[in-house]
Amino acid sequence: MVGEILRHVQNILRKQTLKPLSRLKIKSQFKKTRKRFKYSRRFRKVRLMYQDEAGFSRISKLGACWSPMRVRPHVHSHYIREFRYCYGAIDAHTGESFFLIAGGGNTEWMNAFLEELSQAYPDDYLLLVMDNAIWHKSSTLKIPTNIGFTFIPPYTPEMNPIEQVWKEIRKRGFKNKAFRTLEDVMNQLQDVIQGLEKEMIKSIVNRRWTRMLFENR
């Protein structure tokens, strides 16, 4: 089943871009995933998940806001370059989500995220759709046996719907806000993530082709 789903996902990724794809990379990635799945234990189900990382900092995100007529709004802002990263994975069919607030974007933190994600769904096979960040293809990356990767074409973030989830998180908790400390940023991020409704996430990431892929099984 995982091979069939992976072939379908890769065909969709090919059709949704006009840029030339590295078909050899996609093909070789499919072979590695298929081989690992072939010799692994049986899984309860296959989950297609969109994966990505986003940075959150004390740099204020300014935007439009409401104010009384003839009153100019005043918004406090900072431009302090202190960052934390958030790693996320979203189930394309159900809207279930998994997040990890991390200290940086690198292979070490990616390994920690994959390990925790694997333990959160120990009986499922997770097929992650992700971009081409260098730590996604690191030679020291430790990929659990119940996780596989497939990559979107370079420079096409719009093909990964989790980007819209990051946009919703910033809209809910970071627009026109100034944070005194980096800890305040992390607390705000955690509060917003905990308040995300599964149905709302599903409405953002769900696509017609994923519904057709899973609802008939």
- Which pLDDT value is given to residue 28? 43
Contact 36, 156 (CB under 8 A): no
- Which pLDDT value is given to residue 76? 76
**Average pLDDT, integer, range 43-51:** 91
What pLDDT band is residue 4 in, cutting at 50, 70 and 90? low
Residue 110 pLDDT > 60:
yes
**Average pLDDT, integer, range 25-41:** 49
Highest mean pLDDT among 11-15, 70-74, 160-164: 160-164
- Which pLDDT value is given to residue 178? 85
Residue 90 pLDDT > 70:
yes
Instruction: Look at the alpha carbons of 203, 162, 119, 185 in this order and tell me if their dihedral is positive or negative.
Output: negative
Of 202, 176, 203, 174, the C-alpha closest to 190 is 174
**Average pLDDT, integer, range 118-142:** 95
Per-position DSSP letters for 28-78, written without gaps between them:
HHHHHHHHHHHTSPP-SEEEEEEEEEEEEESS-B-------TT--------
* Domains, the chain, ordered by start: 2-65+74-215 (3.30.420.10)
**Average pLDDT, integer, range 194-210:** 89
**Which one is predicted more confidently, 14 or 78?**
78
Residue 38 pLDDT > 60:
no
**Which one is predicted more confidently, 53 or 31?**
53
Residue 181 pLDDT > 80:
yes
**Which one is predicted more confidently, 18 or 172?**
172
- Which pLDDT value is given to residue 25? 41
- Which pLDDT value is given to residue 20? 40
| pTM (two decimals) | 0.79
Residue 170 pLDDT > 60:
yes
Per-position DSSP letters for the chain, written without gaps between them:
-HHHHHHHHHHHHHHT-SSPP-HHHHHHHHHHHHHHHHTSPP-SEEEEEEEEEEEEESS-B-------TT------------EEEEEEEEETTT--EEEEEES-SSHHHHHHHHHHHHHHSTTEEEEEEE---GGGS-TT----TTEEEEEPPTT-GGG-THHHHHHHHHHHHTBT---SSHHHHHHHHHHHHHT--HHHHHHHH--HHHHHHHHT-
What pLDDT band is residue 41 in, cutting at 50, 70 and 90? low
**Average pLDDT, integer, range 32-49:** 68
Residue 63 pLDDT > 50:
yes
